Amino acid sequence: MKKLFVVHPLLFAWFPILALYSYNVAEVAPSEIVLPTAIMLGWALVSLFLWGLVLRNLKKAGLIVSAFMILFFSYGYVANAVEGWGAIWKVLLPIWGILIIGSVVFAIKTRRDLHRLTSILNIAAITLVIIPSINIVVHEVRAASHQIEKSEIVDTNAVDLGETHTLPDIYYIILDRYASASTLEEVYGFDNSEFYDYLSGKGFYVASESVSNYMKTRSSLASSLNMQHINYLSEELGEEFTDLGPIYAMLEDYEVSRFLRAKGYTYLHLGGTFEPTRTNDYADMNITYGESPEFMVTLFKSTMLHPVLEDNRLGMWLEELPAWLISPFVDGRRVDKWEGILYEFDEVGEVPAMEEPTFVFAHLFVPHKPYVFDRDGNYVSLEEEEEMGKIAGYVDQLIFTNKKVMGLIDEILSTSEVPPIIILQADEGPWPERYERDEYYFKWEQATDAELKQKMRILNAYYLPNVDYERYLYPSITPVNSFRLVFNLYFDTEFDLLDDRSYAIHSHKYPYKFLDVTERLRHD
């Protein structure tokens, strides 16, 4: 025991990553922890090596590195606990700095052997790492025992390729959390008739009474992209099953993509920052704009760097660093989103120039918060957003979204040789205020009718060339029937339209415990 290994600095650096992953294991892919693990372990190793060289004592070096790691990652949790105190970081950050300096001074000046303290820290660190690891292993074992077979409703082997040069491009454009006209008027005090009039004038059918089939992005898109209700998952997995893997798998290899690729379509995917749709392995092209995965951003927000770098307080030298390295640290991804949304609109506008028929899945995170656009498209800082408030921030970003969508539609329609098919749709509506205050524990079965309508009434509009809208479309059509209808009209399939039913979930904890709320969403 005289020769004691100093492992606690590495484990204290790894523990916050494992703990966050364990807490979100049902929603986060294992691949998302690889980069932060490599960064933090590398940082801990280099720090341990350098302090060891300086002090000629690995135990003292380990004490300094562990103290720093503990304080560095605990800062965000303490700050969140006292966030009602206002600009707490101005007080808390200096205190944390003093504690770090104090640990360095103690390690340098102490004449103790530190053998026993190192043993205690090793045991404590090992214990901390074991606890989330057990939860992760248990979860993975349970998830592996609940695998479900893929439910296929399209026989792609029977598809006749035909003449691909006459096929229309198909755009499935998701505007995340775009509220219905009634919600905008009742909750936000905004009249969106100018945008709806534009769509109608361009030949769109606007389903004025449409609602989402499911209230969360993952379930809503899993349903619309696979052209079916997904309630069968609760029967096969159980209502108390928590792993989101089966739903996320439905967002990767889905019916609409399989059908259109078999017809000869090129699949172009723009997935935004939501990790399950950020990229798609089955796509011919993935368009991304360097957004940092949500796990990295959440981890970063627990550290001491968050308040320091959030508003670019360290100056212009940050711009000289690689974008992938600093993007999680600059204004909380706000600049990244502002630039990325503009980039994605531009990329979709280039599709008509492609020779082959193209299916575009574009998941655009507007008017979804953070509200980084004013109504003219100028960048909005976090401080400016907080001054504006949630209502004004949402409305301004929606107004700018309308302008970009109108410009995009004009460009697509004017440059397409074959008239395209365009589905302009929201996956969900904006969150009610009560839910935002208590996201993890809010029970939707206790929600008011007004809260359910705010969450599930959506924008849903169709541009279908040479189609008699009065014959085939109706005001309450929901996303689950979008591609059933499109494939029947343009590819001679014979899909029955499903009941336009809508389902809430019990709570964040139980994503497969569905509640039928169809009747509560009926328009007045």
- Rounded mean pLDDT of the chain? 86
Q: What is the largest CA-CA distance in the chain?
A: 87
SS3 35: helix
pLDDT at residue 320 is higher than 50: no
Residues 202-222, mean pLDDT to the nearest whole number: 97
Percentage above 90 pLDDT, the chain: 59
Which of the four pLDDT bands, split at 50, 70 and 90, describes residue 142? confident
Q: Which residue has the higher pLDDT, 144 or 266?
A: 266
Which of the four pLDDT bands, split at 50, 70 and 90, describes residue 475? very high
- Write down the pLDDT at residue 312: 39
Q: Computed from CA positions of residues 231, 234, 237, 242, in that sequence, does the dihedral angle turn out positive or negative? A: positive
For helices 8-23 and 34-55, the axis angle rounded to 10 degrees is 160
Distance CA 9, CA 273 (A): 32
pLDDT tens digits, one per residue of 271-292: 887 878 888 999 999 998 865 5
Residues 443-465, mean pLDDT to the nearest whole number: 95
- Write down the pLDDT at residue 321: 47
Amino acid identity, position 263? K
Q: What number of other Cβ atoms are within 10 A of residue 131's Cβ?
A: 13
Closest to 9 measured CA to CA, from 117, 135, 134: 117
Residue 177 backbone class (left: φ over 0; alpha: ψ -120 to 50; beta: rest): left
- Write down the pLDDT at residue 92: 75
Residues 46-55, mean pLDDT to the nearest whole number: 92
Residues of the chain with CATH 3.40.720.10: 168-265+304-521
First to last CA, the chain: 76
Distance CA 339, CA 475 (A): 35
Element spanning 107, H or E: helix 89-109
Residues ≥6 apart with Cβ < 8 Å to 381: 311, 331, 334
- Write down the pLDDT at residue 523: 65
pLDDT tens digits, one per residue of 54-73: 998 999 999 999 999 998 88
- Write down the pLDDT at residue 63: 92
pLDDT at residue 311 is higher than 50: no
**304 contacts 75 by C-beta, under 8 angstroms:** yes
Q: Which residue has the higher pLDDT, 305 or 490?
A: 490
Which of the four pLDDT bands, split at 50, 70 and 90, describes residue 147? low
Which of the four pLDDT bands, split at 50, 70 and 90, describes residue 335? confident
How does DSSP assign 445-461, residue by residue? GG--HHHHHHHHBB-EE
Q: How many CA atoms lie within 13 A of 62 on its CB side?
A: 23
- Write down the pLDDT at residue 323: 43
- Write down the pLDDT at residue 201: 98
Residues 179-189, mean pLDDT to the nearest whole number: 97
pLDDT at residue 483 is higher than 70: yes
Which of the four pLDDT bands, split at 50, 70 and 90, describes residue 313? very low
Which of the four pLDDT bands, split at 50, 70 and 90, describes residue 245? confident
pLDDT at residue 328 is higher than 90: no
Residues ≥6 apart with Cβ < 8 Å to 350: none
**360 contacts 351 by C-beta, under 8 angstroms:** yes
- CATH superfamily placement of domain 168-265+304-521: Alkaline Phosphatase, subunit A (3.40.720.10)
Strands (E), 151-237: 170-175, 205-206
